[in-house]
Structure 1
Amino acid sequence: MASKVSFAKYHGLGNDFVMIDCREQGEPVLTPEQAARMCDRNFGVGADGVIFVLPSDVPEAQTRMRIYNSDGSEPEMCGNGIRCMAKFVSDIDASRAARGAIATGAGLIVPELQADGTVRVDMGEPFLLAKDVPTSLPTDALGRAIEAPLTVAGKEWKVTCVGMGNPHAIVFVDDIDTLDLAAVGPLFEKHPVFPKKTNTEFVQVLSPTHLRMKVWERGAGPTLACGTDATATVPHCPLPDTIDEH
């Protein structure tokens, strides 16, 4: 592995990443352990993950993403990470089209650079079949884990499981300020009912236009934002008739 690495730092709503161009090498230039050290906020660069821009291995995509979380684990993809990667590639390669597919472990994702410099991403449709998320939580007649009971830290929670190419557990709460995220987040992430671990969203409905969320990301812990978490949560709000579509 390289002893010196050129990198850039990008963030999406505070969800921050070290970006490394590996199109020439064709593979990540850091080991998972090195990436974890780089993400350390006291002794490294500090980030929620390290994203490697690789040449695509399928004809439909321009580039391919691999990402190591801050603990060195490798998720299928990352929503905010995709936005950061699209902007990073655009900044270093002027020939890149404004819209182009990126290959990920969850399939093709298509970000689109906007005129104002932001990046829009079609995250695809969430899927609810428990076996696909995956989770072994109790399911309804259609095989979905919706408001399924789960005991964590001596308390029963109602959990809705959603797949976005990565697993999500959504928990609606009455008062998010009373939630001890550092205590319960890891217990959800590593609970045996989630064989691939899980991202967990604790959500409070504030109004028809606002939800408040605290996120515990699989492999990264608490983060300021998460694209797939938001995408998974909104369609499954318990008050769909009172939540504005925007």
Structure 2
Amino acid sequence: MSPGRALRFSKMHGAGNDFVVLDLRGGRPAPAPGLARRLADRHQGVGCDQLLTIEDSADPACLARYRIWNADGSAANQCGNGARCVAAWLRRDGAAATPRFRLDSPAGPVQAEALGEGRYAVGMGRPRLAPAEIPFLAAGDATEHRLALAEGEVAFGVVSMGNPHAVVEVADVAAAPVATLGPALQARPEFPEGVNVGFAQVLAPDRIRLRVFERGAGETLACGSGACAAVVALVRRGRLARHAFVELPGGTLEITWPADDAPVVMAGPTAFVFEGELLLEQPE
């Protein structure tokens, strides 16, 4: 980016998980990590959990490609709330002429569908459960693993939804040690690429409450892939139905996992907050 260039962006959120969206179609250059951090900064930038870029896809079956940067500038492989926001952005832009269309993500193709009134459903793919695919350094495909931490022994399930998740079931999510146990698990060498840590409270056979401490962002108001991972982990343990509602601090998501070998489908809200321009006074 050259000095003095105005960078247009959209500010969006999905259930409170907020994003800065950049249109980079037509071969516009991807943002450097420094620009991603600047845009995400809530005091000196726009402020967001993640930066999303919409780009041309090399796959003719996909309407567009999106990529994801965390607030610390690191790249992410998947973001369910972000996928819904990208779908909503493309519908508003006019690029998506039909309610159903396909997107290209870092974790693979994503089927999107406009449900009306700002709600979108996205296919999040089949969950990966083998430790090597998380990646998680452990033997065996167990529904529950245990690690001894300074905070005490913690039990959790591991799931990849294109990005790694550890799901801890708690009796009361409001009292869960998210700020301490989240980073403690993320720092464990058993997770060589780090991990998103979800704290889930089962409220009913078809409803849970969830908080998520994300890689590169900390605790967010919502995490779509984390909601999917929590449902998968709890279904595998016989604690939850395959169609469930996940209450997050920023809103509620609807998750369906029809069968063990089926993709997970997530439905939830999207919202446009504002449009803006950032004047880049220094090269990035």
TM-score norm. by structure 2 comes to 0.79
CA contact (8 A) 2:158 2:233 kept: no
Among the aligned pairs, what percent are the same residue? 38
Alignment of 1:139-150 (within 5 A): 139=139, 143-150=140-147
Cα deviation for residue 153 of structure 1 reads: 2.9
RCO higher in structure (CA 8 A, sep ≥6): 2
Letter paired with 1:206: L
Letter in 2 for 1:226: C
The aligned counterpart of 2:213 is 216
| Cross-structure match for 1:240 | 238
Match for residue 88 of structure 1?
Answer: 89
- Identify unmatched segments of 5+ residues in structure 1: none
In the other structure, the counterpart of 2:156 is 159
The answer as to whether partners of 1:202 and 1:214 remain within 8 angstroms in 2 is yes
Give the match for residue 35 of structure 1: 36
Aligned equivalents of 1:211, 1:7: Cα separation in 2 = 34
Post-superposition, which runs of at least 4 consecutive aligned residues in structure 1 deviate over 6 A? none
* Alignment partner, residue 58 of structure 2: 57
Q: Tell me the residue number matched to 1:127.
A: 128
Report Cα offsets for 1:181-213 as digits up to 9, x if no partner.
222211222321111111110111122232111
Return the alpha-carbon distance in structure 1 between the equivalents of residues 197 and 239 of structure 2: 24
Give the number of the structure whose residues are more often strand, by fraction. Answer: 2
Unaligned runs of 5+ in 2: 245-284
Tell me how far 1:242 sits from its aligned partner. Answer: 5.7
| Separation in structure 1 between the aligned mates of residue 28 and residue 97 of structure 2, nearest angstrom | 18
Contact 2:201 2:210 in 1 (8 A): yes
- C-alpha displacement of 1:91: 1.1
Partner of 2:16: 14
Aligned with 2:121: secondary structure? Answer: strand
Q: 1:65 offset after TM fit, Å?
A: 0.7
Against the structure 1 CA distance between its residues 199 and 25, is the aligned structure 2 distance closer, same or farther, given a 3 Å change threshold?
same
Q: Is the alpha carbon distance of 1:242 and 1:74 closer, same or farther for their aligned partners in structure 2, counting shifts above 3 Å?
A: closer
Residues matched between the structures, number: 241
Q: CA deviation at 1:79?
A: 0.5
Whole-angstrom CA distance in 1 between matches of 2:210 and 2:176:
11
**1:23 alignment counterpart:** 25
Per the normalisation by structure 1, the TM-score is 0.91
Shift of 1:76: 0.8
Deviation (angstroms), 1:24: 1.8
